[in-house]
Amino acid sequence: MSGTLFLPNDQRWSSSGWIYDNVLERMATILVSKNNPTVADKLLGARTEVNGGYLDFREADTDILRLLLHTATEAYNQFKSEGASSFYMPEFYPGFMCQFDELLATLHALARTDR
């Protein structure tokens, strides 16, 4: 199973379900710690086990997209500092980070363009 995050300008990020779910869960944890439970709940509600891995932010405004970018960057940096040893199967860490990097690249590209 895979998950897909739909974004404005026909952009999207798709990944294996376990990668997608782990990224969303880490981002949600960060958002809750920053008192943004509404977006956190939307992320958690889009996990593959909850709704099949469908998350639609196509109509998100600039503030939400900026929040997603900053939150994803923070989550990425956390995973990076934790390293492969933090994974149950460390051999999957490089692929996980590569997929996560694709999400960051997509969010950065959106930040550089007008909706």
Q: How many structural domains are present in the chain?
A: 1
Domain enclosing residue 78, as ranges: 2-112
Work out the average pLDDT over 25-34. Answer: 97
Distance CA 23, CA 7 (A): 16
Which neighbouring-strand residues pair with 80?
Answer: none
The pLDDT-based confidence of 115 (bands split at 50, 70, 90) is very low
Integer CA distances (angstroms), 87 to 55, 74, 79, 97, 104, in order = 25, 18, 10, 12, 20
Share of the chain above pLDDT 90, in %: 95
Does the global pTM surpass 0.85? yes
Whether pLDDT at 100 is above 80: yes
Residue 13 is inside which H or E element, if any? strand 11-16
Distance CA 30, CA 7 (A): 20
| CB atoms inside a 10 Å sphere around CB 61 | 11
- Could you tell me if 93 and 87 are in contact, meaning their C-beta atoms sit under 8 angstroms apart? yes
